[in-house]
């Protein structure tokens, strides 16, 4: 059952990461067009900075959090992990997942509350274009909720690994584990 949930979550993570790729492409296109307009026609886009800073960059960051965590792409210190036995490693990973779960659950909750308040109050940013605040604010809870689900799954997997003394059922299909390449 955990494997099926993992596959569904992986599909959602990949879909949201694909949106982040689209956001990155949009950033490159908008910046290029803005530079051309600024230096060739002396008429830069007034909206480019707001679009990039408030929406696109936030999406690039938050929409890849969970996918990067699953692929073990975040910075990690694994010098000691290679020397740990399976139970000690599961306990350390369990503790890390629990702390991260608490922190990112709080971020997701506060972010969702903030996005809802912005939506309910119809908040907009003052400027040439009245950008809706909630559209920018909703990015945080979407990305962190996926990470919370990933951390919860990781927590359960390491709890099972701790009780059985074997690898987590979710680790068997990982492409990278503890800095080493692993065949799927």
Can you give the residue ranges of every domain in the chain?
A: 2-181
Quick: pLDDT tens for 148-169. Answer: 999 999 999 888 888 876 776 6
Residue 176, pLDDT score: 42
Distance CA 30, CA 32 (A): 5
Residue corresponding to tokens 């569904």: 8
Q: What is the pLDDT of residue 25?
A: 98
The SS3 assignment for 124 reads strand
Give the per-residue pLDDT at 171: 66
Q: What is the longest distance spanned by two Cα atoms in the chain?
A: 67
The pLDDT value given to residue 166: 72
Tokens 């960051």 map to which residue?
61
Judged by DSSP in three states, 82 sits in: helix
Per-residue pLDDT tens digits for 168-182? 666 654 444 444 444
Give the chain's residues under pLDDT 70.
Answer: 77, 165, 168-184
Tokens coding 30: 């908008």
Residue 60 tokens read as 């690039």
pLDDT of residue 42: 94
Question: Using CB atoms within 10 A of its CB, is residue 116 exposed (0-12), middle (13-18) or buried (19+)?
Answer: middle
């Amino acid at each position: 059952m955990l494997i099926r949930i993992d596959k569904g979550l992986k599909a959602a993570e990949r879909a949201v990461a694909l949106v982040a790729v689209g956001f990155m492409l949009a950033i490159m296109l908008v910046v290029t067009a803005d530079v051309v307009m600024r230096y060739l026609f002396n008429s830069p886009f007034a909206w480019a900075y707001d679009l990039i800073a408030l929406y696109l960059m936030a999406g690039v960051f938050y929409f890849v959090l969970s996918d990067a965590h699953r692929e073990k792409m975040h910075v990690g210190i694994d010098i000691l992990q290679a020397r740990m036995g399976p139970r000690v490693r599961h306990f350390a990973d369990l503790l890390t997942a629990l702390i991260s779960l608490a922190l990112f659950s709080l971020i997701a909750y506060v972010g969702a509350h903030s996005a809802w308040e912005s939506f309910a109050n119809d908040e907009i940013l003052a400027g040439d274009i009245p950008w809706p605040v909630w559209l920018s604010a909703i990015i945080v809870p979407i990305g962190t909720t996926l990470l919370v689900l990933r951390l919860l799954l990781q927590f359960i997997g390491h709890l099972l690994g701790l009780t059985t003394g074997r690898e987590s059922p979710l680790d068997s299909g990982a492409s990278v584990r503890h800095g080493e390449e692993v065949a799927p």
